Chains A and B, each alone.
Chain A
Amino acid sequence: MTRLTEKQLLLLTIGITVLISGGLGLLIWSDFRTIDEEKGKKADLDRQIEAAEREIALRPDREYRVIANREISDREVAFLPEEEEIETFWEVLERFAQDSGVRISEIAPSSIQRSGRDKKGAESTISTVPQVLSLRGTIDEFLRFINMVENYERIINVSEYSVSAGEAPDEDGKHRHGIRLALTTFTYSRKIASTIVSIPKYEEKKEHAEVKKWLSRIKVQEKETYTLPLSIQRRDPFVSVRRRPDSPGGEVEGAPDPEYQGGLIDNIVELVQTLQQGLTFEEELQRRGDLWRLTAQRKENRETYAALSENITTANKEVTIPELRERFKRDVTVPWTAIQKRMEDMRNANPRLGLSQVQEWRDRISKLYDERKWADVESEARGFRDSSKNGQHVDDEAKDLVQIIFEMQRSAKVIDGFDKRKIEITGILYSPRGSSVAVVNAKQMTVGEALDADGTVVVVEIGENYVIFETEGVEIKKEQATQATKK
């Protein structure tokens, strides 16, 4: 074996050194690269953590909003049937048809398909269910039918309809017309989102001020309803008035008309039922403490009560046929007495209004006042008087607010009356020294002069472009050729 020369050994030593240190350098370089990658990953994670923290910071507020939404959800969807309830839709239509007198000859799905998507194509929680009905009935029967449909507790919308006048009366003497009616109802899925988060300490958080704030911001959509007034003698305009010259053309004057008297009772019975339903709803709202809707419902019930009272008095004189008198007593007088007692009980059971509730009334009325909606101020204030037994049934700490509400009601009434007098300022001769003259309703007036003989409207100040009047203790500023404003 040949020995390596010194030079070769030297080269070998250097070579090995370079090889080993090069390998190690490579490893170190690789580690540095890994470190950089790790740092990059960490920076990414930091950014994601920052974004997550932003979301986390919003969680408490979102919890309050979700609680508010969940709490009000049942009220919001009160008039939407759930998907499984839709089967009762047809039963309801059948019942309404029987109650109203129309005859359903066909029910078919509309050409519009059931829809469960919103405008953007996303799956919606509300689906529409359209139906087309073919009916026969008098115009009053049809009107009652669509009124029942539209007033039904679950929403059913009338999309379109057509009426074709019937040619000849049916065997029972009624003129029935051909009617095509398209209806749409809506269903919703109770499942609101794919993930429903459980909120810790839900009951405790429910009482938080933030939840109340969000609740106050959510406007619950009301379903409009309409109470049909009695229209006993209204002619069916779809019945031709053309007659043979020798035909009697109507009933014999003075003879009792069973159909008319029966119709009279039918209409009143329907109104009695409407009022009974309205009172039940009022009791429910009172139990829930939903003062806003309670006021509206109470107002509607009082109107129905007044109309019913008048109609019963009239019908009491007009229903003369003994059999129908008996029916009138059974179906009208007896329930009417029960309704009167029920309303009396409800008045007595009216709860006292707390400070916050009176504040709510005050704020609402004040807003209407600022918007110069005098009739609405009057209506709201009357609602408040009803709810609070004329301001007596409120907590002591709210008494001052009651006075403010009453004062706003009074002022609104005065200003409304003032506005209606059509007082016009056509010219002002202003003098800062106090001898200004205003031309009001073509009459020259100075401060202290009354507009009319009884002295109810007095000029108290004349400005460069306005006049301040005083009437019934309220000062009203009216600008030249503009509307009146309270000073």
Chain B
Amino acid sequence: MIAINLLPSEYRKSEATPIARFLSIVIGAVVVTTSLVIYGYVHYSRLREAVDLREATEQTFANKKMEADVSLSLQAEINAYEARRKAITDVAGGRILHSRKLDEFLSVIWNGDDRTAYYIWLNSMAVKPARDSRAKGAATSGGNLSFSGYSDTTNFSRVTNLRDALKGKKAFYDDFKGISRPVFRAQEWDDGLEPTSAGKFSFDLTFKPLGPAREDKAVKKGK
């Protein structure tokens, strides 16, 4: 018996996969497979490798950082010692030894009670540090020594003799920048005491700024 398919050709069951579909399936499979392979390579090889490398580097860094932190702590300790050293130098090296200054000053004032050049007595004396000079930059003075008193005569030259004596005592005057000109005024009393007249005077000495020069001097201890 002969069977005849009367269906139009497009409705008939095809005998093989059409070439277009076949090709698209094959190409699709190749593309997908290749993509999968590339993905697998990138994800499980390249990425893993990069992550592993980064993690290993992180570990190395963590170890190195610990060592570096120790080194930095050592440096911080050195810095702290140096800062303290500087502070100590400022404290001890920059000080004026006032017992020395006062001792020398009293000796000049006393003058062995030699009345030929000057003979004086004091009523006040003050030593003051420089105020706020550092805020404006380098200090221009290390403070002041001021004193006032009386000379036993109204002769002005006796006071200038004292000024010369102060300037002439090198050990004493070396720490000073200068001495003011004397302020002098004749004074008379009527209280029955002698001398009945005297020269009232005052002086102001300016210390040199505290600094390295004084530090050098500080090394020479004692008298």
| Interface residues of A, Cβ cutoff 8 Å to B | 6, 9-10, 13-14, 16-17, 20-21, 24-25, 27-28, 31-32, 34-35, 38-39, 41-42, 45-46, 48-49, 51-53, 55-56, 58-59, 62-63, 65-66, 69, 73, 76-77, 79-80, 118, 124-126, 139, 142-143, 146-147, 149-151, 155, 157-165, 186, 188, 192-197, 218, 221-229, 231, 234-235, 237-245, 296-297, 299-300, 303-304
Contacts and interface: CB of A to CB of B under 8 A. Distances in A.
Interface of B: 18, 20-21, 24-25, 27-29, 31-32, 34-36, 38-39, 42-43, 46-47, 50-51, 53-54, 57-58, 60-61, 64-65, 67-68, 70-78, 80-81, 83-85, 87-89, 91-93, 95-100, 102-103, 106-107, 109-110, 113, 119-129, 143, 149-150, 152, 189, 192-195, 198, 217-223
Contact of B42 (A13, A28, A49): A28
A48 B68 CA distance: 10
A48 B57 CA distance: 10
Nearest to B128: A160
A66 B73 CA distance: 10
A66 B103 contact: no
Residue of B71, B83, B85 with highest tally of chain A CB at under 10 A: B71
Given A224-B219, A226-B103, A237-B109, 19 more contacts: A17-B28, A32-B42, A45-B54, A45-B60, A55-B71, A59-B67, A59-B74, A76-B84, A77-B88, A126-B84, A126-B91, A158-B98, A160-B128, A197-B77, A221-B92, A222-B221, A231-B106, A237-B122, A245-B194
A25 B61 contact: no
A13 B28 contact: yes
Contact of A52 (B35, B61, B102): B61
Contacts of B35: 20-21, 24-25, 28
A13 B32 contact: no
B69 to A, nearest CB: 8
Nearest to B223: A227
Give the secondary structure class of B's interface.
Answer: helix
A284 to B, nearest CB: 15
Contact of A27 (B28, B43, B113): B43
24 contacts: A9-B21, A10-B21, A14-B28, A21-B28, A24-B36, A24-B39, A39-B54, A41-B54, A49-B57, A53-B68, A59-B71, A65-B78, A69-B81, A118-B83, A125-B87, A126-B88, A159-B129, A188-B84, A221-B89, A224-B97, A234-B107, A238-B121, A238-B122, A241-B119
A125 B77 CA distance: 12
A272 to B, nearest CB: 16
Q: What are the nearest 6 A-B pairs in CB distance?
A: A17-B28, A24-B35, A52-B68, A147-B99, A38-B50, A62-B74
B103 A228 contact: yes
A142 B103 CA distance: 11
B103 A303 contact: no
Contact of A24 (B32, B150, B217, B220): B32
A100 to B, nearest CB: 11
Contact of B103 (A25, A143, A197, A221): A143
B194 A242 contact: yes
Given A126-B91, A197-B70, A38 B107 contact: no
B142 to A, nearest CB: 12
Nearest to B59: A45
B121 A161 contact: no
B47 A196 contact: no
Contacts of A196: 73, 77
A275 to B, nearest CB: 12
A196 B53 CA distance: 34
B80 A193 contact: yes
A38 B51 contact: yes
Contacts of B221: 222, 224-225, 296-297, 300
